[in-house]
Structure 1
Amino acid sequence: MHKILIADDHILVRLGMELVVKEVLGSSVMVDFASDGRELYEKLASKEYDILISDLNMPGMEGLGMVANALKIQDKLRILLVSVNPETIFAHRYLKAGAFGYIQKGNSDEELKRAIYDISIGRRYVTSGQAEQFTNAFLNDIPSNPFDTLSAREFEVALLLLKGNGVLEVSTALSINSSTASTYRGRVFEKLAIKNVIELSQLARRYRVVGDDTMLR
């Protein structure tokens, strides 16, 4: 019997995902829920799961850090991320971090079902769009957007800056000292050829890293 943990801060999303999971894997599947980062980590520490299906950002956690932290607790956990954030920007980063799949919330129900099934049998899931993007990047060896030039930690810093966090908040969120956080911010600005957070926000909207309200979900 598969043991699934579904993490999302919206109850309707959690219940809807449970219905999809049981349709794909059968009604006998065991499903637990987490509504924030604290609850997610508590559940992972107290019970073993086969699959984690999670939104990217919830209270008490950050996406890239969540994948690493979850795998530290359960190293065989298969993680499927389901988010509104565009796969062209985010998918490859989370797959490299150890996730088994990345699906946009706007994708079809059939694609979500295929992802759940593939991951349930231990197979990583890549959408056709992701496969094309990865192939082009491999063949051309050229970043598809400027944000691809950022390291994983620099990308985390950029996302925190886009949420309105300053250097102190970034250092707290990533458990680094403020001077290191400031250095990372400088690297982000340098690599993206920008001067401030306003230009970062404009660039992020241009490449659909964030929506018009600059808030990630």
Structure 2
Amino acid sequence: MPLSILIADDHQLVRKGLQMVVKDVLGYNVGVEFAENGRQVIEKVTEKDFDLLITDLNMPETNDLALIPDILSIRPKLRILVVTMKPDKVFATRFFQAGALGYVNKNEPDAVLAEAIQVVSQGRRYISRSQGDIFSNALMGNVANTPFDKLSKREFEVTLLLLKGYGALEVSNALSISASTASSYRCRVFDKLEIKNLLELNHLAQVYQIDPDLEE
């Protein structure tokens, strides 16, 4: 039976380009469906049991850090390949730990993407050669590649919202927590990153190429 693939990206040209690579790698008889945002991804995986999901992270109606856990709570065996512009060094280990089998930056050559699709479609983890040194220690839990690795998932969520300019009330509304809890998380983030204010947070984010509003 042909494989069933879901491709999720908010840009049509990217979706079509990924479809071409998928068919080149896995055969032209594979079934391909599309999603344009996180809500559609959840709806489609709820309705249908796909073999492989290839997804962006920065899409409308998407909490990028929660997307993979939410998907796997519905389809625990779904093979997930993340294809994104977000920097590997900061984001990839978090998504591997969340259950993704592969993480490919959109700046990588087509050959890397094709190899990742082939490997992940077989249910195996794909780590590119360029990622090997970056992730070997982090995946073992031994060494932090960046200061942001010190943050818990929730603290990292708060960090991304702070970088978007959110205040305590906006963070509390976005994450369904109290304003006082949001303020406490902000203090923890500053302590762990060894910074004193938002200006220093933004500078640190620039150093590690973190842009929460990155258009992909």
TM > 0.5 between the two? yes
Query: Quick one: structure 1 residues 24 and 134, their matched pair in 2 at CA, closer, same or farther if it must change by over 3 Å?
Result: same
Report how far residue 168 of structure 1 moved.
2.9
Report how far residue 105 of structure 1 moved.
0.3
Per the alignment, residue 196 of structure 1 pairs with 197
Letter of the 2:30 partner, please give it: V
Query: Quick one: structure 1 residues 178 and 50, their matched pair in 2 at CA, closer, same or farther if it must change by over 3 Å?
Result: farther
Per the alignment, residue 70 of structure 1 pairs with 71
Per the alignment, residue 118 of structure 2 pairs with 117
Report how far residue 206 of structure 1 moved.
0.9
Contact 2:93 2:138 in 1 (8 A): no
- Name the SS of the counterpart of 1:179 in structure 2: helix
Query: Quick one: structure 1 residues 21 and 147, their matched pair in 2 at CA, closer, same or farther if it must change by over 3 Å?
Result: same
Query: What TM-score results when the alignment is normalised by the length of structure 1?
Result: 0.92
Query: What TM-score results when the alignment is normalised by the length of structure 2?
Result: 0.92
- Name the SS of the counterpart of 2:173 in structure 1: helix
Report how far residue 141 of structure 1 moved.
3.6
Distance of 1:138 and 1:22 partners within structure 2: 31
Query: Quick one: structure 1 residues 140 and 52, their matched pair in 2 at CA, closer, same or farther if it must change by over 3 Å?
Result: closer
Report how far residue 140 of structure 1 moved.
10
Per the alignment, residue 176 of structure 1 pairs with 177
Letter of the 2:68 partner, please give it: V
Distance of 2:86 and 2:117 partners within structure 1: 19
Distance of 1:138 and 1:52 partners within structure 2: 22
Report how far residue 162 of structure 1 moved.
1.3
Contact 1:35 1:58 in 2 (8 A): yes
Aligned counterparts, 1:126-145, within 5 A: 126-137=127-138, 141-145=142-146
Distance of 1:138 and 1:55 partners within structure 2: 21
Letter of the 1:180 partner, please give it: T
Contact 2:42 2:71 in 1 (8 A): yes
Identity percentage of aligned residues: 52
Greater Cα offset, 171-180 or 52-61: 171-180
Q: Unaligned regions of 5+ residues in structure 1, if any?
A: none
Report how far residue 199 of structure 1 moved.
1.8
Report how far residue 31 of structure 1 moved.
0.7
Report how far residue 98 of structure 1 moved.
0.7
Q: Deviations over 1:121-167 (max 9, x none)?
A: 11110111221122355799432221111112211211122122222
Per the alignment, residue 10 of structure 2 pairs with 9
Report how far residue 186 of structure 1 moved.
1.4
